[in-house]
Structure 1
Amino acid sequence: MPLVAQEPPRLSTIRSTSAAPRVAEFFAGIGLARLGLEQAGAEVVWANDLDPNKTLLYTSRFGGDHYVERDIATITGADVPDIDLAWSSFPCTDLSLAGNRRGLAGSSSATFWEFTRILEEMGDRRPAVVALENVTGFATSHGGDDMASAVAELNRLGYSVDVVTLDARRFVPQSRPRLFLVGALDAPDDVHDPGSELRPDWLQTVFGDPALTTHRAALPAPPAPLTSGLGEVVERSSTLWWDADRTRSFLDSLSPLQTERVELLRRGRTVSYRTAYRRTRKGVAIWEVRPDDIAGCLRTARGGSSKQAVVRAGRGQVQVRWMTGREYARLMGAGDYDLSAARTSQALFGFGDAVCVPAVGWLSEHYLLPLVRGAMRAQSPALELVHG
């Protein structure tokens, strides 16, 4: 009997038990998702972004052989190599409460559709797992319709979708809640998981929609949120503290409640650190100081209200200055990130528009990589991964 050549198995249906899963990093920014993925054992083989400042930081840190600096609208499925996982931190501008709330129809966040177009163009080569990261406002954008549309689009491409929320504060002293959509061509076993830390009540609507294909993977509880730690990441050697006049202007702008808060810290026997944001109230610029030893959510430093200041108070003194690029890096879990190639403004923008490294590492270790390897079913043997 003549031998019949068997059709090679689709990459998207094969899992790896030993080889490092291959990842494409869409909207790569400065590569913080990459750092988290690599911590869990993945290998980033392709990356893309358009912003030249982010490109400078990324390629200075990781090299540029695998990096494509182009508008995602000009990238095709053929441009992406064989991969097991696609990571997409698509722009949050139109989904954030601080943005214009145009949703997936907005010019920035609409790049989601370019990402799924590329997946579709990859055909049978599309990855077994996709992970999308964005602000929690994605869940409520347009009354939840944007989230449902995104899940339906991934369903159309064959992916069952899970949705979880994870705050960077569980790993670093920064309040930074984010949403993660995880799509799987071969969905893991579903678990009943109402009102958990990862899938709170406000996320349950998507799982109850009969028009959508979803799953809820069994995951461990994440670490408890930190209640302190900002003081441990502040650069003690900084000489950038504001002069007496600028510091007085800062103090004069505080509300009575804020003034009392800072005064208590000033009279303290030990030095404390807090972060502060500049706000505009009735046309007047004022400062608001956080009450705890945790940083507020870092943002892209395009305007004064987006930048955080550091307040150092105690032993009868108060000092104030802008937060440094190194402090931004530490608060994103990337403390040793090389900033020598970038200006401070470039670093603040890059880190403020990024994802927390250990949050990605936790999600990758406990969910994404086991999912790629087929290890999230009760009875599902993992197969050898063979890349073409």
Structure 2
Amino acid sequence: MGNVTSIDASRPRALEFFAGIGLARMGLESAGFRVAWANDYEPDKKAMYDAQFGESDAQHFALGDVGKVVVDDLPRDVSLAWASSPCTDLSLAGNRAGLAGAQSGTFWHFIRLLDELKDDRPEVVVLENVIGLATSHGGDDLAAAIRAFNNLGYSVDVLSIDARRFVPQSRPRLFLVGAQNPPNDAPVPNSELRPDWLQWVYGDETLRTHRAALPAPPAPKTEGFGNEVEQMPLDDERWWDADRTESFVASLSPTQLDRVATMKRGTGVKYRTAYRRTRNGVPVWEVRADDISGCLRTARGGSSKQAVVRMGNKRLQVRWMTPREYARLMGAGDYDLTAARNNQALFGFGDAVAVPAVAWLAENYLLPLVNGEMKAQSTLSVKAV
């Protein structure tokens, strides 16, 4: 037991802002970090966090508004600060108020606390958010976030990573990696991680940025959702009844109906996901053509829950996606759901970041950066901005 404690103590420590149900922590700790402190304001998410990581961790979880956290609440001697700040004001499903919004604006409290840490600031900081941050207010919000990190002594790299590279769910996210001692790399500017629509960041001379040389991420998955479906009897009460299923089919467009009918007649069973959309003021269902889940969201973001459609052998059945399926699609298939209510779990996972995306970033970028395994730039001066 002492050996385990010694190994744990040797891991670089991290702060987990806007922790939610702890999926960022799962990814970071699988790569070798140790989360020493976490914060979120939602009791339901903390309850899930406690169930997953143990009640003994409660003392390290500051429940409440990040605006009320003071710098003395934070542990020192940490190497990384991670922030998955609320995306409601930035996502396409939200109100697009940007970083000035009531929820996404909590980012500035993260900046405030980093500022107040002064000489105890972590070597590396990460901001994770929806890709809408890159276009919010014509790019001004992203530039403002980078500039805020610059003013604290961090050079910033900006990456786009889709969870679909690791799990069968389309979930693109933006990751800002701030480094006090950025790597002195010169990788190919345009890559899978830094596509065309991000290149303006590196051409803006008012921003201090860098690009780390990283391995190519796994290719995006083209199938696999069916493997993550929770198996249940065909007479399980969670399958919709005949009337509700008939209404589902009746709402499909001719193209959608033809696709569903073909799979229904086929031999064997296929699974697809479906979203309820509003087209010309009328609610309709749309079934994905591929074996990939759409992006998991929450009702608070303006989107409906995702449904699972089972087709084949002349049979069609529909039901809501389960919390366990949400967990699997987030790379957290063994997450402890014993104490979570159904909607509580769906909200928790819908607001989170996919575990394997965090793990890949931590293993290939954050941990080497913290451990000094990336060649640092010869000058660490920050441009006046």
The answer to whether the 8 A contact 1:193-1:199 is kept is no
Correspondence 1:170 to 2:165: yes
Q: Deviations over 1:301-350 (max 9, x none)?
A: 34894200000000101000000000000000000001111100000000
Unaligned runs of 5+ residues in structure 2 are 1-8, 379-385
Partner of 2:3: none
Secondary structure class of the residue paired with 1:121 = helix
* Alignment map for 1:250-265 (pairs within 5 Å): 250-265=248-263
* Alignment map for 1:194-233 (pairs within 5 Å): 194-233=189-228
Q: TM-score, normalised by structure 1?
A: 0.91
Q: Deviations over 1:160-212 (max 9, x none)?
A: 00000100000000000000000001111132432200000100111100001
Partner of 1:352: 350
The answer to whether the 8 A contact 1:26-1:90 is kept is yes
Q: Deviations over 1:92-127 (max 9, x none)?
A: 011111111111111111111100000001110010
- From 76, 83, 99, give the equivalent of 1:104: 99
Q: Which has the higher helix share?
A: 2
Correspondence 1:77 to 2:71: yes
The answer to whether the 8 A contact 1:278-1:304 is kept is no
* Alignment map for 1:113-152 (pairs within 5 Å): 113-152=108-147
- From 287, 290, 306, give the equivalent of 1:289: 287
Q: Which letter does structure 1 place at the counterpart of 2:152?
A: L
Q: Deviations over 1:241-263 (max 9, x none)?
A: 11111100100000001101100
| Equivalences, count | 363
Q: Deviations over 1:49-71 (max 9, x none)?
A: 00111111011111312111010
CA distance in 1, matches of 2:328, 2:60: 26
Secondary structure class of the residue paired with 1:46 = strand
- From 357, 369, 376, give the equivalent of 2:374: 376
Shift of 1:300: 1.2
CA RMSD, 1 decimal: 1.4
Secondary structure class of the residue paired with 2:266 = coil
- Of residues 322-331 and 18-27 in structure 1, the stretch that sits farther from structure 2 once superposed is 18-27
* Alignment map for 1:315-354 (pairs within 5 Å): 315-354=313-352
Q: Which letter does structure 2 place at the counterpart of 1:168?
A: A
The answer to whether the 8 A contact 2:278-2:284 is kept is yes
Q: Which letter does structure 2 place at the counterpart of 1:216?
A: R
Unaligned runs of 5+ residues in structure 1 are 1-17, 381-388
CA distance in 1, matches of 2:166, 2:187: 26
Secondary structure class of the residue paired with 1:349 = helix
Taking a change above 3 Å as real, the CA distance of residues 182 and 250 of structure 1, as seen in their structure-2 partners, is same
Aligned-pair identity in percent equals 67
Partner of 2:61: 67
Secondary structure class of the residue paired with 1:110 = helix
Q: Which letter does structure 1 place at the counterpart of 2:67?
A: A
The answer to whether the 8 A contact 2:271-2:291 is kept is yes
Q: Which letter does structure 2 place at the counterpart of 1:294?
A: I
* Alignment map for 1:302-321 (pairs within 5 Å): 302=300, 305-321=303-319
Taking a change above 3 Å as real, the CA distance of residues 378 and 106 of structure 1, as seen in their structure-2 partners, is closer
CA distance in 2, matches of 1:358, 1:156: 31
Shift of 1:379: 9.4
Partner of 2:4: none
Q: Deviations over 1:211-249 (max 9, x none)?
A: 010000010000001110010010112621111111001
The answer to whether the 8 A contact 2:79-2:122 is kept is yes
Secondary structure class of the residue paired with 2:143 = helix
CA distance in 2, matches of 1:181, 1:379: 18
